[in-house]
Each structure stands twice: as structure tokens, then as C-alpha cells.
Amino acid sequence: MQSYKILAGTTILILALLALTGSINNAASTSESKDAISTAKSKKSLADQREAQLYKLQQQELKVAIRAYFDKAIASGVIVGAGVSIVRGDSIVISDGFGKRNINVNGGVDGQTIFRLGSLSKGFAGILAANLKDEGKLDWEDKVCDYIPGFQLGNTSNTDKITLANILSHTSGAPYHSFTNLVEAGLSLTDIAERFKEVTPISNPGLMYSYQNALFALSGEMMYQATGQEITTSLENRFFKPLEMCSTTMDYETLAHEKNVAMPHSKRRNGWRPKKLNDHYYNAIAAGGINASAIDMARWMRFLLGHNPEIMSKSALKEAFNPIVEIKGHSKYYQRWPGHLSSHYGFGWRIHKFSEEETGLQKTIWHHGGSVNNYRNEIAVYPEADLGICVLLNNNSKLAKTLVPDLYKIVKDIYDQTTTKIALTSVPKTIPAF
């Protein structure tokens, strides 16, 4: 009995010591875990602070460089005013204005100043068509004549082959700029569609790139027939409202009554002269009838880069950027950009391939230019760099031909310089490098 009591006592003592040791170990482990979490949080907080400081530094340097670029252009008399947007990742880095809305008035251009977009509108139409295709309301192979019975180009057999994809990619087979004059004269799209029976095709559908305004605009009529909504309503409800593109409009009357609008200008011997706004292309919204500000174009580019998946998925967006037909030759201004390799047209977008000088890597640009009523605009989206650049001008200018590569180089140089700073401070990069 005595031995049992001693054994029991010893057992209890051992268990007590084990419990105490476990408690101490648990306490130490918990303490170490808390210390590790605290250290990780501290490091993350420090990294976040450095990242924020770096972002601010990059933005400041970019603003200085961009201002210097446009101040020089204005001082030399090359441009009157410009609305400029630069988007990188999910951030609108720059949305600003330079110069004057009217050369004879003191009011300056800012990020809210409205410009006419001209053919930058085609990019909106292409994305809308991709959106409707994603929902099953339209298909690229839908025939134009099924939606617009009065349409005819060439004989019946040829007409039956012309699809939505053809008119969105300028491959219908019609001669260059067929009936653009009728668009500018204000005829309705249905009237213009019926006039194409007078046109002799220059190729079978799908074989040749031949730029159009009148035929491209018929895509808006097809989308109306497919949805029961005017293209203006579809664009507003699907994109402009959810993206908070509050200053974007699609009619002449609204633009004419805007206070913060950049007036168009024409060249005269001693400088620039303001012109009146005209109502051309508001009968052909898909081809050239949209008005917008720099801030709205920034929101649009951020969306194109896939940062609003709740509105449209990346896979659906990319449908508009499939290279459908090659733009041959070397005479176009964009074919002379540094490192240019090839150009194709998708659905409302030009798709360029170029080679980076430093690395030799092949990169992509989704691009379009626009010109209407003496406005001249450029938009370029670099998907691999998660970068968008848009410049809206209120005059025709030779500078428009090099704006895109000029600004890309400025942005690239600044971010490449700060990449070194990132490495030195051990701040992780969260946005793709160039």
C-alpha cells in the first residue's frame, strides 16, 4: 500500500511537471507566433509606406515631365490645348489638361474639359459588340442584311457574306471611305445602307482592309436591332454609368451647351483660329459621335485593362482585340513608330506589335486615332505593361503622329529609373515592369 501511494504521488508530480512544461512551451510558442505576426505586419506596413512614397514620387516626376512636353508644344504653336490621361495598373496616374480651350479666351483645359473623340468612338462600339456577343445577343458571323434588310453591296451572293465582323474590321470589300460624305451630310444609317447597292466591291468580304465610316456605323444599327436599345442607351447603361464617366455624351445639343468644352481650331498664317462646333457624325455614333474628357478616358482605359471585371471580363474584352486583318505597307504614321513590327485591325481597334529597343521583346499596343471637326486624338493601351495613354487635342497637329511613342518613352524612362529605387529599398513591385 505504501509503495502504491509513493508511485501515485510520483506519477502526479511528473504529470504536473509535464503540464507546467507544456504551458511554458505553449506560452513561448504563442509569444513567438505573436512576435512573428507583429514583425510581418511591421514589415508589410513599412513596405506599404515605401510603396506609397514611391508611387507619389513617380507620379510627381511624371507630371513634371508631361507638363514640360506639352508646355513646349504649346509655346512652339504646334497645339492649342490638350487633355491627357495616363493609367498604370489600377491607378489613374495623370488626368490633366494643358493649354487653352479657346485661343482667344483665358479659360484653360483641365481634366474635365470635353473634346470630340472622332474615330476613338469606334473602340467603344467594338467593345460594346464584344459585350453583346458575350451575352449571346449577337455573333461576329451575323449577317448585316439579316438586321438591315435594305442593305446590299454587290450582288445578292456577295451581300449574304458580309457579317458584323466584316464591318467592324473594315473588311466588307467596299472601296476606301465609301459614303463618308453621306455620313457628314447627316443622312440616316438606314438611308445610307440602301445606297451601298450603287457601290462596286473591290474584294470579297474578309480579304482586304479598307477603312470605312458609313459601313462601320451600321454596327450600331445591328446592335439596336439585337437589343431594342439605341447604341447611345446601351453604351450609357453598360459602360458610362457604372464607370462613372459622367461627362461623356453622344449628341450635338449637349456638347453645344457645355461650358467646359475645348473648341476646335484651324490653322491660319499667324496662329490658330477657333471654329464652330458642327453636328457631323452624331447620326453615326459608332463611327465617330462620342464626346469625353480626359478623366473619363482614363476610367475607360482602366476598364479596358481589365480592372472592372464586374462590368466585363478580360476574356470578353479581348474579343475586340483579336487581329482580324493585316494593315499592310509602311506609309501610315503608326507604322513608323520605333520598333514597329506589324499592324492589324480588330473590332474598332488597331493592334500593333513592336519590339522594345533595350530588350528586343515583342510587345502589343491596342491603338486608334481620331479626327473630326478639327479635333485630333490618340489612344494607346499597352496590355503587357498594364498601361494606357490618351491625348485629346482641339486642333489638327503633326505632333499627333508621334504623341504615343513620345509619351510611352517618358513613362518608361521614369518607371525604369524608379525600378532601381525599388530594388535598393527592397519594396516589392506590384505592377508589371516595362
Residue 85's nearest CA partner among 338, 378, 385 is 378
Cell (9 digits) for 31: 509569444
Q: How confident is the model at residue 57 (pLDDT cuts 50, 70, 90)?
A: confident
pLDDT band for position 416 (cuts 50, 70, 90)? confident
Provide the percentage of residues in the chain whose pLDDT is more than 70: 85
Q: Distance between CA atoms of 433 and 430, rounded to whole angstroms?
A: 9
pLDDT at 3: 47
- Summarize pLDDT for 325-361 with one digit per residue, the tens: 999 999 999 999 999 999 999 999 999 999 998 889 9
Give the closest residue to 123 by CA, choosing from 347, 335, 391, 337.
347
Mean pLDDT for the stretch of residues 30-56: 67
Contact 294, 390 (CB under 8 A): yes
pLDDT band with cut points at 50, 70 and 90 for residue 201: very high
pLDDT tens per residue, range 85-99? 999 999 999 999 999
Query: Mean pLDDT score of the chain, rounded to an integer?
Result: 90
Q: pLDDT at position 42, please?
A: 59
pLDDT digits (tens, 9 = 90+) for 164-183: 999 999 999 999 999 999 99
- If one compares 9 and 119, the residue with the highest pLDDT of the two is 119
Q: How much is the average pLDDT of 96-106?
A: 97
Under DSSP, the state recorded for 77 is T
Backbone angles phi, psi at 136, to 5 degrees: 85, 15
Angle between helices 403-425 and 2-75 (to 10 degrees): 150
Residue with cell 497645339: 79
Distance from the Cα of residue 145 to its chain's centroid:
31
Confidence label for 45 from pLDDT (cuts 50, 70 and 90):
confident
- CA distance linking residue 13 with residue 20, whole number of Å: 11
pLDDT tens readout for residues 242-265: 999 999 999 999 999 999 999 999
Q: What are the angstrom distances between the C-alpha of 103 and each of 390, 391, 395?
A: 22, 18, 11
